Amino acid sequence: MASLKKISKKELKLTMEALIEPPLKIIVGGQDKQTFFVNKEVICSVSDFFAAACKKEWACGQANTVTLTEENPETFAIFVSWVLTKSLESAANLQSLPPREDDFHGEDGRRSAIKRGVQLVECLGISESLLCHEFHNAVMDELLTLTETLSDADESLVICLPQIVKII
């Protein structure tokens, strides 16, 4: 396997070996497990956890399989989408928001905002577990944008934020 030194996304150049070797198998969740297959070089370049776990000295590195029983598969899917695209918006299961601020006044808009906020907070947790600072920063930026959008749409919507934090 190619060297797993930590490199920036601009520097990431996949070797031929990285493109033909089997992807890393990642089993996520407790009872409702989900299996993901991700290019090892790509995920190790952004996550210190995966970079360490995939070393040949560890059983995970030898088996090319990492098990994350404590993580939520839906949240991990958001992380993997971000790893591959460097965009949270590419994650199909991340709750979308109404297209205009006016749409936050209804119950559906509020529910969407709360769900997205909860998902983003869960993403913060996984960013800590997986030691992925770049993902953490992207999620924090998105949380700040959500907060600004909510407060611009309607002052009363800021009440969603304590509900989001309480869930943590």
What are 80-116's pLDDT values in tens digits?
999 999 999 888 888 887 665 556 556 677 778 888 8
pLDDT band at 132 (very low <50, low <70, confident <90, very high): very high
Distance (Å, whole) CA 157 – CA 32: 33
The whole model's pTM is what?
0.79
* Mean per-residue pLDDT over the chain, rounded: 81
The pLDDT assigned to 163 comes to: 55
- The string of pLDDT tens digits covering residues 65-77 is 999 999 999 999 9
Confidence of residue 140 (pLDDT cuts 50, 70, 90): very high
Q: What share of the chain has pLDDT > 70, as a percent?
A: 71
Three-state secondary-structure class, residue 38: strand
The predicted pLDDT at position 6 comes to 47
Q: Which pLDDT score is estimated for 114?
A: 80
